[in-house]
A and B are shown apart, each in its own frame.
Chain A
Amino acid sequence: MSETAMRIEVFKTYKLYVGGKFPRSESGRVYEVTDTKDQWLANAPLGTRKDTRDAVLAARAAVKGWSGTTAYNRGQVLYRVAEMLQGRREQFTAEVAAAEGLGAKKAAALVDAAIDRWVWYAGWTDKVAQIAGGANPVAGPFFNLSTPEPTGVVGVVAPRTGHGFSLLGLVSVVAPAIATGNTVVVAAAEQAPLPALSLGEVLATSDVPGGVVNLISGRTADIAPTLASHQDVNALDLAGAIDLEGPGAAAALEASAADTLKRVVRPAADPSAVDWTASPGTGRLLSFLETKTVWHPMGI
């Protein structure tokens, strides 16, 4: 082989991530994903309502195991995600650069921030009960203790705008939900799903049990309403619900979620102004928790 011979690159087939496996969409359809300059990047699976339903099933099945594992173990798993992501930094830098129209350096900084965000939440798993729970000094001979417990299955409409939305934004909404023991079904950013679909590959190799995170690419207007109306979804993060009207609009989704009184995190007032590199605080971490208070008498 001569040194100048051209080598044909191997393209990656992007797939959904559901229940720890990588299925194609049941629709058998894909859609074109382009960079911000309309250059074709890849075909992404066009996930459907049925794919979303399958994902909810997988997420529900994973709740018992994931919420039942120790907080320490969950922390180790989330930290492992950071380690794996660190190892694929170059790949994600390229994907984020293409997704958000950024230079390599800025994209790399966003990937680094996404890695660090996993580390941040890895540290929260075994501390959230210590800031969100505690002993209550009730007036009487009772031991009284409040502890937070995960809500269950969280539907996530992944961020679609804001600096760093494609990977850092995604991590910033997925990690806090699973850190506390929830499982998630994510409607990936419709126009830029590739970092999300690749993140599935990282999760699959990071000791995250199958079904804890499920990633669906496709039309947000199909997937998000399915999640909002699904009776076996307990909460909804509408970070990326940026449609102003139609079934994918935040208000419509929130109204639909109200049927089963899902816990809802609304999108930012101006989603395009969100800077996902900003320190996340504890808002999302505490959003998908139920507080359980136990009373027990004290006596001989």
Chain B
Amino acid sequence: MSTLAANAPGAPGGGLADVAASEATLRRFLHGLPGVDQVGLEARAATLGTRSIKTTAKAFAIDLAISMIDLTTLEGADTVGKVRSLCAKGLNPDPTDRTAPQVAAICVYPDMVETAKTALRGSDIQVASVATAFPSGRAGMPVKLADTAEAVAAGADEIDMVIDRGAFLSGRYLEVFEEIRAVKEACRRPDGSSAHLKVIFETGELQTYDNVRRASWLAMIAGADFIKTSTGKVAVNATPPVTLLMLEAVRDFRAATGTQVGVKPAGGIRTTKDAMKYLVMVNETLGDDWLSPHWFRFGASSLLNDLLMQRQKLRTGRYSGPDYVTVD
């Protein structure tokens, strides 16, 4: 990638790569971002959570939410069979209703990418793979890059990497920056195209909202295509306030650079009601431009069936039950 291309508006990193010229400049930039008042942020997220989404708006939002799901299985017990059935579910979420949209992606560990890719052949569903020693990220760079390259080589369309929270929390921002850059590089395919890079912060470990805002900008400057809250493997995963903050970050980043970045809350989003709250936040913070699976995703597994049950309720007028949606 030429220097020119890297700094052009709309380029990954938004042309802000200069701020990462040194540890000192990067630190100055990140610490110069406006602070976040916790109480105010949480109050705003809570207020948006009181929006009442009914009838046609609800139908629209349910289908939109389904189409934004990264249907995920990230268990030690994952098998080829499990991944295949998950792919089948993603392709055809509601066997009783073919109008139900497909999910955005199937999210798996690297060794399951090939299985997923095969199962999804011919569809628009993406295969996302976690990488970089997910979920802890505690491995050397060669391992992380190999992890990434393997997933990409196996056909992953999207890579969900984790940042080194230890490095971030001890203030080694440049290290995190370079790590993201390197993984981004590892996302490249021989044909010159790249797998999409989602950068996971594990916001539950970053703890403060100031940290989340800094991590967001850090990742975006480093070239993240998506910023993602959590692995789903720690006590605190996606929350409405932390997601709202990240939405504000991508909004401000585009205003500053012209480059649009997506957002993916993950973990803990289980109900239609939850999903509605997130979509309301996207709607009122970012608007139409982000209301598509290109720019907003839900990292979730059980959410899908709740959305389907609500969808059935809207269609039939009866409340559905777990026996009327498929378990995969």
| A–B touching in complex (CB under 8 Å) | no
Chain B residues proximal to chain A, CB less than 8 Å: none
Chain A residues proximal to chain B, CB less than 8 Å: none
